[in-house]
A and B are shown apart, each in its own frame.
Chain A
Amino acid sequence: MDLTATTTIRRPAPEVYAFWRVLENLPTFMAHLEQVRATGEKTSHWSASAPFGTDVEWDAEIIHETPGERIEWRSTGEAAVPNAGAVRFVPAPDGVSTEVHVVLVYDIPGGAVGKAVAKYFGEEPHQQLDDDLRRLKQVLETGEVVRSDGAPWGKRARKEFPQRPAQPLSDVELEKGADA
């Protein structure tokens, strides 16, 4: 499965690139990621969040990189869901913004993991990536992922629909957090 998405962020390309290049930042806006940990200059260890299939972890390596412009990576070894990605950072015509163009490629396996992944992406898989990039834009332009009463847990917003009512959260809900 190939997914593409793009957004424009009102920050200079080197800054957007630098944020993405710290791979630990990816889970702040990518819904399917629980954690990414750098294990070397070009290598990293990724783990998925529950809806994507629990216990899905893999190693990845950066295979091409042009600072400020482009990063390409792919999973390595025996990944349960072999995948690869590329992101380009292109200065926008307005002279202040950056176009972010992302391609993700998943080699979806059979079995339970494949089912979980297919279910996660649903009928319109590119929307997950669209939403990821919307949150990237929020983080870089405003400092954090925007929360509302209906969608209080940031990156789970789409999955939560229909949402909790647009009324303030109780202390109990707040304490339970995203797992409520």
Chain B
Amino acid sequence: MRANTWAGRNKVEVRDVPDPKILNGRDVIVRITSTAICGSDLHLVDGYVPTMQDGDVLGHEFMGEVVEVGPDVAPDWLHVGDRVVVPFPISCGACAACSAELYSCCENSNPNAGIAEKMFGHPLAGIFGYSHLTGGFAGGQAQYARVPFADVGPLKIESDLTDEQVLFLSDILPTGYMGAEMCDIQPSDVVAVWGAGPVGQFAMDSARVLGAARVIAIDKEPYRLQMAEQAGHIPVNFDEVDVRSRLLELTGGRGPDKCIDAVGLEATHGSAHVAAYDRIKQAVRSETERPHALRQAIMSCRSGGVVSVVGVYGGLLDKFPAGAWMNRSLTLRTGQCHVQRYMKPLLERIERGEIDPTRIITHTLPLDEAPHGYEIFKNKQENCEKVVLKP
């Protein structure tokens, strides 16, 4: 089959690789009909996530049709021909974490848990196409994928919604939603979202459906801010204005009640000297993150507020504003999304028309053009917000 693979830093390559087979009894094989490039794929390609290997099949946002079912998949759960969206965390459904609906912390799905444990103190779940640290599972930017624990993860789509309407239930819609949910939003809340990429856009939409009074979008790409504005959110361009001052102005001096970091470890920043400090430390690998968005969110949030982090971090960061966090009673909440927890309720919101996930799609390309998709998404060319690939 054809598959998009990691071919070294800053390089992806569509290659011929073997078709996937059932390896564990609860696997299914899915013929992929739509898949997408995620912002976190860029962290892999940019070389900021360790344990990538030449030939790793990328991609953790995908959906398609079940073509083979393993012998131990719970009966009457999935059948050949079923149309499914696959969540990015691979979760066993039986461990203590899964029992507490902390699916991205599954204790069993990562065969390389020992390595992950060294980096993070405790292991994390297996994830499709997302380094060997998360298990070394082939990803979904391909014609077919093997899906383990198929009786826990995949969501069956039985209505006639299009792929484009449901594909993002695999990751970015639940991720954005969890970012907003962690904010415990009240009707009087002003919510500021750092990053108007796909996850940020969905965090904004989710904050709105969860009842926020106002939602602010912070970015520097005019087309991304315009997209947020069209959806009813207030744009703030950090290339043009001082973010903290503008946020104070927009909130009568209080600061946003809730702040969401939808940027993560490769933030860009208006302040040149701090940006240079982090860039140099990251380049020599003595710091793995450029955490400007997180720092700014903590400094901007009103006292007693919540800072919710769904942007990806991978290791260590410098100059964490612990004083602001501690002295001003801020709550910091975060997590890789527990996608399985949100898929069904969010599908219902899509069916009711409360959220339109298709609004962020700017490009649809054949799988073979994946390298071009990565290029324009990474460099924000052609007003690229979200690329959907068709295998």
Contacts and interface: CB of A to CB of B under 8 A. Distances in A.
Interface of A: 8, 10, 94, 97, 127, 130-131, 134, 137-138, 141-152, 154, 157-158, 161-163, 165-171, 174
B62 interface: no
Given A166-B129, A167-B138, A147 B54 contact: no
Nearest to A142: B92
A154 B95 contact: no
A100 to B, nearest CB: 13
Interface residues of B, number: 44
Interface string B107-119: 1111111110100
A147 B23 contact: yes
Contact of A165 (B55, B72, B115, B148): B55
A124 B129 CA distance: 29
Given A146-B148, A148-B136, A150-B137, A169 B126 contact: no
Contacts of B138: 149, 166-168
B140 to A, nearest CB: 12
A94 B148 contact: no
A167 B14 CA distance: 12
Given A130-B114, A150-B135, 9 more contacts: A10-B99, A97-B96, A147-B24, A165-B57, A166-B136, A166-B139, A167-B3, A167-B17, A174-B21
Contacts of B31: none
B26 A143 contact: yes
Contacts of A141: 92, 94-95, 107-108
A148 B135 contact: yes
Contacts of B366: none
Q: Which interface residue of A134, A141, A154, A168 has the most chain B CB atoms within 10 A?
A: A168
A130 B136 CA distance: 19
Contacts of A174: 21
B148 A150 contact: no
3 nearest A-B pairs in the assembled complex, by CB-CB distance: A150-B136, A165-B55, A168-B20
Interface in B21-38: 21, 23-26
A76 to B, nearest CB: 32
20 contacts: A10-B99, A130-B114, A137-B108, A141-B95, A142-B92, A146-B109, A147-B24, A148-B111, A148-B136, A149-B20, A149-B137, A149-B138, A154-B111, A157-B114, A163-B53, A165-B57, A166-B56, A166-B129, A169-B21, A174-B21
A170 B54 CA distance: 17
B35 to A, nearest CB: 15
B132 interface: yes
- Which of B1, B5, B18, B54 has most chain A Cβ within 10 Å? B18
Given A137-B95, A146-B108, A166 B18 contact: no
Interface string B64-87: 000000001000000000000000
A97 to B, nearest CB: 7
Contacts of A152: 23
A158 B114 contact: yes
